[in-house]
Structures are given as C-alpha cells and as structure tokens.
Amino acid sequence: MAVGIQKIGIIGAGQMGTGIARVCALAGLDVVLADVSEDRLKAAIDLVDVSLQRRVADGDLPESERKSAVARIHSTIDFAGFAACDLVLEAATENEAVKRGIFERLCPALKPEALIGTNTSSISITRLASATDRPEKFIGIHFMNPVPRMQLVELIRGIATEEATFETAKAFIDRLGKTSTVSEDFPAFIVNRILLPMINEAIYTLYEGVGNVEAIDTAMRLGANHPMGPLQLADFIGLDTCLSVMQVLHEGLADSKYRPCPLLVKYVEAGWLGRKTHRGFYDYRGGSPVPTR
C-alpha cells in the first residue's frame, strides 16, 4: 500500500539538492538537508531564502509562505538526522562508488518503512538498490535542472522496486505540482539518453572544426529553436556530469556512437567544468560569457 510522504531527507546541498529542498518546502513538506559541512548547508538554505525573496518581490509568493518554507528546511551533517524521514533522496555527485557508499552508511539510520530514492541521471537503479537493505523500497526519482523551473521528473523502477514504492513516489511528485514520466532501467533513462548524445555530437562538431562555439550554439538556438545552445547547456549541466553520463552510456550499451568526445575529456581533465568553475566552453570570469574556442 502506498504511504504519504510528510518528511523528506535530501543528501547533497549542491544545485540539485538545494532545488529539490526548495520545491519540497514550498509544497509543505518538512525537509532535512544533509551535506559534509555546515558552511555548505548554510549557503544552500541562504540560497533558497534569497530565491524565494525574489519571488515575493515579484509578487507571485506571499511573504508568509516564504517564511514557512524556509522554516521547514533543517540541516544535518549526520545521517542520524534522517531517523524520522519517510523518504530520503540522494542527490550527490554522479559517481556510482560514491552513491553506493552513501547508501551503505544511510540504511542503518532509517526507520524500517522509509523509502530511498536516487536523483541519478544515468546509473542503474537495480545496481544502486543492491547497495541497500531495502531494494524493494528503492526507486529512481530524477529531477531536471533547474529543479524549481523544470516540470518533468523521471521515475525509474529497479528490478526489485515494489508497486507501493512506485505509487508513493508518483504521489510525491504530484504533490510537488510536477509531471512524472516512467522510464525503464536502461543507461541514462529517457531524457539523457537523447539529450547527452546530442551535446556530445555538438562537442565533436567543435572538435572537428565544423564550427566554433558561437556558431554551433547560434545554429541550434535559431535553426532548431532550442532555448540555449548545446555547448551553453553543457556548461550549465557541468562538463564532468556530461562526461559521466556519456561514460555510462558507452559502457552500458557498448555502442561506439556513445563514445565521449576527446575534447570533452580534455576540458574535464583541465578542470574546466562549466559555470560552476567559471570556465568551460565559455569563460564566465568577466562581465559576459566569452567562447573559449
């Protein structure tokens, strides 16, 4: 039987975890946000507050709702803080070993009936579930970035996921006012199975000299009516995340068409990961982004 989610734990106070915390708090859920340092947690909650203050200033959120939402977000650096949570959602870096380590440490802190979700954008739900003591209560809940603006959430069952777990996750997404779509447990699921190879192909187009950064992004914005160019989008996602997803696709499907572009690998090796490091296919250190190639 599906159960209602009233209190949610979120592991990872980065861009995704902070966005998920924001939408959950606005939907009336109590939120426990975890990360490795108090400073990162304070910065995340401050970011939520500032973003909601902008909505108040724009007139589309009452001040009372802003205050209530921020007050619902609590922080912890200890998984023991998740003891009362109905669902804990992992939103850590896109690295399978890191995620498996988190789940192994998380499970002893949870009540027996608690569900576990992962916001992975590409990794096998079945494999990740095997690192827990409750694979039947484990499910992929993949939010899109940026979470407050993007309407879609992918739900992905592992081989052991029970129907009640799926129904509870679906009801949770409905409560957030978002739309869920269901993907089978294949590498990168639906959105990234289609999106990341397109971005990778754009990087190959740059690598092979077919066009420069500005030409490629302008061509796809104006020629395909995309809201942002693929290289701009890659910088927004994070080039390390793009590379991780392409590696999962290449290894999981064993098809050469998913081979990560060597230029993407080189940028990641250089530490040019996009917006979060202020350099990627664009340099963000000045007043406006400047193409790096």
pLDDT digits (tens, 9 = 90+) for 243-276: 999 999 999 999 999 999 999 999 999 999 999 9
Which CATH number applies to 196-282? 1.10.1040.10
| In the chain, % of residues over pLDDT 90 | 98
Average pLDDT over residues 31-44: 96
pLDDT digits (tens, 9 = 90+) for 63-102: 999 999 999 999 999 999 999 999 999 999 999 999 999 9
Which residues contact residue 226 at a Cβ distance below 8 angstroms, ignoring those fewer than 6 apart? 220
Average pLDDT over residues 281-289: 95
Look at residue 3 in the predicted model and tell me its pLDDT. Answer: 60
Which residues contact residue 224 at a Cβ distance below 8 angstroms, ignoring those fewer than 6 apart? none
- Dihedral over Cα of 18, 16, 34, 84: its sign: positive
Q: How confident is the model at residue 287 (pLDDT cuts 50, 70, 90)?
A: confident
Question: In 3D, which of 283, 247, 249 has the Cα closest to residue 262?
Answer: 247
Domain boundaries, the chain: 7-183, 196-282
Say if residue 1's pLDDT is above 60: no
Say if residue 179's pLDDT is above 90: yes
Contact 99, 71 (CB under 8 A): no
Q: How confident is the model at residue 198 (pLDDT cuts 50, 70, 90)?
A: very high
Q: Does domain 7-183 have CATH number 3.20.20.100?
A: no
DSSP, res 146: S
Question: In 3D, which of 105, 138, 117, 127 has the Cα closest to residue 20?
Answer: 117
Name the 3-class secondary structure at 11: strand
Residues carrying an active site annotation? 121, 142, 154, 192
